[in-house]
Structure 1
Amino acid sequence: MLKHLFVVLLLSFATYNYAQKPPVLEKDSSQQARDSIKKINFVKNIGNGFLPISFFNLDLRYLIKFNQYEGFRTGLGGETNEHFSERYRLNGYLVYGFRDKALKYKIGGGFRVSEASNTWINLSYVDDLQETGSSKFLTDKRFFSFFEPRLLNIDLFHRHITKSIGIQHKVSNHLLSETQFSVSKITPTYNYNYMAGGQTYKTFDISSAKISLQWSPFSHFIIVDDKVKETKDGYPKFTFQVTQSYKSIFGSNFNFSKLDFRTIQQFTHKNTDVTKITLVAGIAGGDTPLTHLYHAYPNNINKQTIMNRFSVAGLNSFETMYFNEFFSDKFSTLQLKHSFKPFNISERFQPQLVLISRHAIGEMKSINNHSGIDFNTLEKLYSESGLEINKLFFGFGLSFAYRYGGYHLPKPEDNMAFKFTFNISL
């Protein structure tokens, strides 16, 4: 618990002061305009997790993190920017986990084949950890947070050595696509065996192809300096991804297919209240090991009392669902979040009330194929509701959530989650 707070405080205080600095007016208006543009670009890069240094952008994601398997994880990473080349790019990182005493790294790069459609061919070699049951969309915009709340408590990782080649292509301003073919060697860091075709596997070789589409039909764009700029982030947004693993290609062990879907709808009311609805669904068929199935974004520590479980609430996670409690080969989640207009108590103190309701349902057809780890399934409807009061002090707030429905637990306190929240804006 103290380690969690140390990480949060270290990162938040380092960034909060910068985020709150008011702009300084310059004497000359033209110089002021140039400085203003520089500041906007600098803050935009910082907000995306980059610190520009000449032709190289230092990636702030790799400086320091903490999780239950690696302990503190620290290193350096980044990518070249347009000052290096507008046609070629290089990227990578090198990090070290102090608890598992292991190095992880990535070496990658790409080259652009069409400027008009922003088409890039990317290659990478990765030797790192990934959370078991996590599923990411290739087309997701880079998401950066000065710390990642769920990461603090995750302990179920698998190591993967992955070689990949991909094509990133803009079909239109409203439709982005990315295709990737990868070959991975997967080694769970926990006791786990997967049984398929009469064989038992402790490690997995997987060759797979992914196609991902992100459709934003209601966003608005304009052309500024021959570049497309988004002027309105329109809703709803839709993201689709298809994954196919091929047995016997480059030594792959399994045939399986996955289909993932997400839609986000957001309403901004006349009084500036915001309602956000997020629906996520996924289905996997064939011989699919646990590493490539689905959890439902849990974020609750397996400890006895509420205060022992006190940590940091995530942005889109189930705060009362315990880590490694549920896994599914078919699932869907619905999250409803209503953010009220901030209370204008003073210029610097404007807390905000947010009401939240989350629901999940799923199933697991091949549960007997997984051994060495115990988990439940989600055939009944899982529900939790709660509230957040954000930005009480240095970006910190508080949240409370209560678990009810088909997976309500006998002890009332086991259904409760009381945590920090952390929000800052650059």
Structure 2
Amino acid sequence: MLYSQNDSLNSSIKEKDTLKQSEFFKQLGNGYFPTKYFNFDLKYLIKYNQYEALRTGLGGITNDAFSKKLRLNTYVVYGFRDHRFKYSFGAGLRINEKTNTWINASYTDDLQESGSSIFLTDKRFFQLFEPRLLNISLFHKHTTRAVSIEHQFSPKIQTETQLALSYIVPTYNYAFEINGNDYETFHLSLLKTSLQWDPFSKFELVNNSYKEVKNGYPKFTLQYTKSIKDLSENNFSFYKIDFRTVHQIKHANNSLSELIIVSGITKGETPLTHLYHAYPNNLNKETILQRFSVAGISSFETMFFNEFFSDKLITAQFKHYFNPFDISSRFKPQLVLISRYALGDINNMERHQNISFDKLNKGYTESGFELNKLLYGFGLSFTYRYGAYHLPDIGDNIAFKFTFNLTL
């Protein structure tokens, strides 16, 4: 009987250790290194881009052991080319656990890619390596004070509303002309509200909060942004509406099809920093080998950086993932077919001074394939640009790159 009790005790200890290890690797997979009260954020450790060169630092967020109602987050990074520290600190207070309602406040002094759009409700997606970041060169500095509220109307509907006051300084030669006045730096007061709807996902109530137990598709995200003129020195009045849908279909042969549609429109006095690009990922260099880099996950590989900007844009990206080739237990490469399309337009191009770019109103198309996981997460990508924006030199239409798909 004593042996049986000891055996049961040892089994219980092993089960607890297994649960601790499982939670540790889950946190690591989400990009955090957990400690007792503070989870270090791995995405700040090391990065590289064309403006900062090497960017490194530390950051993180408090966990439930610190408090279930109060969270603190911060990071500090340093760019070795621009010789400048960037940082952020913030706090959140949970006022309702079941609806996951938080009131947040933050202060940030950092860079952001011009022309990029970020949805407030995007869940954290951690990559050990962010390929497209290597090639980005067009950033603007921003100093931002923000307050926001997060709320779940239901497990399938998440919302966040934010008021952010920013002072923006482009790192490139740019002036925005409005009514005869040229603005090289500007203040913006932006009110954003974002909604994430996952109608086909399934959720369960665990410890008084909802957890997603089945990831269902399609998913929908909608965001509205309003620039409020004359609030805290805001220079311009404009609005933006952004929409995204993601759909995946799993086939009987273990292959997977994915369609991502992203659209956006902005009206009013919108500076280049808040226009749209189509997530280009091609370096502005002469030969294919000089442009050889790492392919992004959802970027246009043959579109040159800063080639197009739009105040209205829609992109569609289709991928079909074949079942990996079962060559051996360790070597299972995967073929992915890719096709991308973008259509955009812009009014009042003359407002954007000291920078040149084209309209995207003829429709941009590229197609190709990836052969992934050839060696330690690395693979190869080949993409071809055709249609209305096909270039005279055949080599300029080709993008041949590495892929990297290893995640923690």
* Superposed counterparts of 1:383-394, under 5 Å: 383-394=365-376
Residue 286 of structure 1: aligned partner: 268
Match of 1:322 among 283, 304, 321: 304
Residue 342 of structure 1: aligned partner: 324
Q: Quick one: which amino acid aligns to residue 192 of structure 2?
A: K
Distance in 2, Cα, partners of 1:258 & 1:113: 30
Instruction: Give 1:248 shift.
Output: 0.7
Match of 1:378 among 353, 360, 363: 360
Residue 238 of structure 2: aligned partner: 256
Instruction: Give 1:38 shift.
Output: 1.7
Residue 277 of structure 2: aligned partner: 295
Residue 23 of structure 1: aligned partner: none
Distance in 2, Cα, partners of 1:238 & 1:187: 33
- In structure 1, the gaps of 5 or more residues are 1-26
Q: Quick one: which amino acid aligns to residue 240 of structure 2?
A: K
The superposition leaves residues 177-208 of structure 1 with CA deviations (integer Å, 9 ceiling, x where unpaired) of 00000100000000000011221100010001
Distance in 1, Cα, partners of 2:380 & 2:16: 40
The superposition leaves residues 26-55 of structure 1 with CA deviations (integer Å, 9 ceiling, x where unpaired) of x95433322322222111111111000110
State the SS of the aligned residue for 2:401: strand
Counterpart contact for 2:97–2:208, Cα < 8 Å: no
State the SS of the aligned residue for 1:251: coil
Q: Quick one: which amino acid aligns to residue 41 of structure 2?
A: D
Q: Report the number of matched residues.
A: 400
State the SS of the aligned residue for 2:199: coil
The superposition leaves residues 31-86 of structure 1 with CA deviations (integer Å, 9 ceiling, x where unpaired) of 33223222221111111110001100001111110000001001111110011100
Distance in 2, Cα, partners of 1:160 & 1:225: 39
Counterpart contact for 2:128–2:407, Cα < 8 Å: no
* Superposed counterparts of 1:101-250, under 5 Å: 101-250=83-232
Distance in 1, Cα, partners of 2:166 & 2:406: 37
Q: Quick one: which amino acid aligns to residue 418 of structure 1?
A: F
Residue 33 of structure 1: aligned partner: 15
Residue 69 of structure 2: aligned partner: 87
Distance in 2, Cα, partners of 1:32 & 1:396: 36
Instruction: Give 1:224 shift.
Output: 3.2
The superposition leaves residues 196-248 of structure 1 with CA deviations (integer Å, 9 ceiling, x where unpaired) of 12211000100010000000000011223443221211111000000000111
State the SS of the aligned residue for 2:118: coil
Counterpart contact for 2:313–2:345, Cα < 8 Å: yes
State the SS of the aligned residue for 1:41: helix
State the SS of the aligned residue for 1:144: coil
Residue 333 of structure 2: aligned partner: 351
Distance in 2, Cα, partners of 1:47 & 1:145: 9
Distance in 1, Cα, partners of 2:20 & 2:206: 17
Q: Quick one: which amino acid aligns to residue 80 of structure 2?
A: F
Distance in 2, Cα, partners of 1:267 & 1:29: 41
Counterpart contact for 2:98–2:208, Cα < 8 Å: no
Residue 55 of structure 2: aligned partner: 73
Distance in 1, Cα, partners of 2:308 & 2:329: 44
Distance in 2, Cα, partners of 1:177 & 1:361: 28
Residue 5 of structure 2: aligned partner: none
Residue 50 of structure 1: aligned partner: 32
State the SS of the aligned residue for 1:61: helix
Q: Quick one: which amino acid aligns to residue 108 of structure 1?
A: G
The superposition leaves residues 139-173 of structure 1 with CA deviations (integer Å, 9 ceiling, x where unpaired) of 00011111211110101000000000000111100
State the SS of the aligned residue for 2:232: helix
Q: Does 1:420 align with 2:402?
A: yes
Distance in 2, Cα, partners of 1:406 & 1:111: 51
Instruction: Give 1:412 shift.
Output: 0.6
Q: Quick one: which amino acid aligns to residue 402 of structure 1?
A: Y
State the SS of the aligned residue for 1:250: coil
Q: Normalised by the size of structure 2, how large is the TM-score?
A: 0.96
Distance in 2, Cα, partners of 1:230 & 1:262: 20
Q: Percent identity?
A: 58
Q: Quick one: which amino acid aligns to residue 31 of structure 1?
A: I
Distance in 2, Cα, partners of 1:183 & 1:400: 42
Distance in 2, Cα, partners of 1:50 & 1:361: 38
Distance in 2, Cα, partners of 1:69 & 1:230: 38
Distance in 1, Cα, partners of 2:381 & 2:11: 45
Counterpart contact for 2:277–2:308, Cα < 8 Å: yes
Q: Quick one: which amino acid aligns to residue 97 of structure 2?
A: E
Q: Does 1:331 align with 2:313?
A: yes
The superposition leaves residues 394-421 of structure 1 with CA deviations (integer Å, 9 ceiling, x where unpaired) of 0111110000011000011100001111
Match of 1:395 among 377, 382, 390: 377
Two-structure CA RMSD over aligned residues (Å): 1.1
Residue 61 of structure 1: aligned partner: 43
The superposition leaves residues 351-408 of structure 1 with CA deviations (integer Å, 9 ceiling, x where unpaired) of 1000000000000111110011111110011000000011010011111000001100
- In structure 2, the gaps of 5 or more residues are 1-8
Counterpart contact for 2:99–2:209, Cα < 8 Å: no
Residue 18 of structure 1: aligned partner: none
Residue 408 of structure 1: aligned partner: 390
